[in-house]
Amino acid sequence: MPAFTAENETQTPKQFKSMIKKNKKTSDDYKFAYVNMNWWENFNDDILTGYIEKAIINNYDLKMATLNVDEYYQNVKAQLANELPSVSAGFGPGLIKMPGATNTAMNFGLPMVVQYEADIFLKNHDKTKSAKKLYEGSKLDERAAYIAIASAVGTTYINITNLDKIIALQEEIVNIREEIYKLMLASNHEGLTSSADTVKANKALVNGQTDLIELKKQREQLLHRLCVLVGESPENSDSIERTSLDSINYQFNIPDNIPSEIITQRPDYMKAELMVEKAGIDVKIAKKEFLPSINILGGGLFNSKDIGSLFTTKNMLLGVAGGLMTPIFTGGSLVANLRLKKATYERVLQNYYKTNLTSIQEINDALVASRLDRDKMLQTEKQYNLEKSDYKYNEHKYNQGTISKLDLIQHKENLLTIEKLVSQQKIECMVDAISLYKATGSKPYAL
């Protein structure tokens, strides 16, 4: 149980409650498509897929990623408004006393102003296109976040199941070492075993108990992490349900090779490509800043002493004007801005090349790890089966009285140690599969 508890940790601060609006319910289907739920069924574990689904709905990092997309969408709408005319109007009642008059008169005014920048060079349109690239990039960031969180949930969950088994095996090892120590102590009292051997047995027992405490600490921390990933309080770690490691019947077919074209479905690669396009648009915008701008201004004024006749033609005053402004001297800011955008384009282009190579590397690394770790696990399983056969042989010898109980339980400890190694390597194979899933953008080729 965690030492720290906090009540109402997810409540909204009072000063912000008025700013929160209830959004319309939208479908979350696209979020599940991001993480490719069909792939997670390869683990054949409904509990795991349930945690993935829960994280998709409740994880706070994913909620922020989705809200970030909406922010960029509103930026696009704000920039699009610059391509359209703006209209403003007002209403002003007032009292007027004319020179020579003995009384004051009521007067009503309704001014209207229309402004529009004629975008004949498509500068504002290009700015909107640039903003749209950022919006599209934010959607790819959202997809990458969902893949990353799903991978984290899967990795954390299977590591917890591994620690469950490792802890159970370690507890057996500690019991065996405790029994060995007692036997050594009894033999030492009878003068059959040296004090040095007894001390070694005691040290092995203490080391085993220390390792057990460390394993339990790791499991508690992973349980806390899984709670946060699925949007729950770490206080609920004791209620985290999971299956046993031996019950996870994962089925992955590791392909011999993966075509390099698979990187084109990775969200980071797609975003890097988008950012190159955006940087190119920004260079065009910087060039168009040297061109003149054409502004059209229209105004209207309705003014009357009687509000009932305010909108008559005799009380109306209209005007239209246009102007052309071109930069002549800006202190070099336009030239500097153009050079800046060109430098940014080159940097973004180099990042695109780097992302290309890094993507290929990550896929190849995950593929090699999946293949070799599988081969290593098979060899370790053979070693475990041989150790198991050897233990049965020694158990038979013990029943015949040819070896001591101390020798038998030492062989038992060796068997448990190999079994721990088999469990760890089984987990490594599953983690490799998740790494390949993540490296290929949630759609592993031929898996």
- The one-character DSSP state at 420 is H
Q: How far apart are the two ends of the chain, measured CA to CA in Å? A: 39
Tens of pLDDT, residues 162-212: 999 999 999 999 999 999 999 889 888 888 888 898 999 999 999 999 999
Query: Does residue 195 lie within any of the structural domains?
Result: no
Give the list of residues 6+ apart from residue 385 with CB closer than 8 angstroms, or none.
none
Query: Does residue 1 lie within any of the structural domains?
Result: no
Tens of pLDDT, residues 344-396: 999 999 999 999 999 999 999 999 999 999 999 999 999 999 999 999 999 99
Query: Does residue 441 lie within any of the structural domains?
Result: yes
Q: In a 3-state reduction of DSSP, which class is residue 296?
A: strand
Contact 317, 304 (CB under 8 A): no
Least confident of 101-115, 265-279, 339-353: 101-115
Helix locations, 59-122, DSSP H? 60-80
Query: Does residue 437 lie within any of the structural domains?
Result: yes
Query: Does residue 429 lie within any of the structural domains?
Result: yes
Tens of pLDDT, residues 398-432: 998 888 888 899 999 999 999 999 999 999 999 99
pLDDT grade for 7, boundaries at 50, 70 and 90: very low
CA torsion 138→41→253→385, rounded to 10°? 130
Least confident of 15-29, 35-49, 279-293, 355-369: 15-29
Range of the domain at 409: 255-291+326-447
Is 80 exceeded by the pLDDT of residue 278?
yes
| Of 330, 299, 294, the residue nearest 316 (C-alpha) | 299
What CATH number is associated with residue 431? 1.20.1600.10
- Tell me the backbone φ, ψ of residue 109, rounded to 5 degrees: -130, 140
Cα–Cα dist 40/95, whole Å: 75
The alpha carbon of 175 is separated from its chain's Cα centroid by a whole number of angstroms, namely 42
Neighbour count for residue 259 (Cβ, 10 Å): 10
- What's the structural domain count of the chain? 1
One-letter amino acid of 252: F
Query: Does residue 274 lie within any of the structural domains?
Result: yes
Rg of the chain, C-alpha, whole Å: 36
| Of 131, 164, 108, 147, the residue nearest 309 (C-alpha) | 108
Q: What is the pLDDT of residue 446?
A: 45
Query: Does residue 75 lie within any of the structural domains?
Result: no
Query: Does residue 47 lie within any of the structural domains?
Result: no
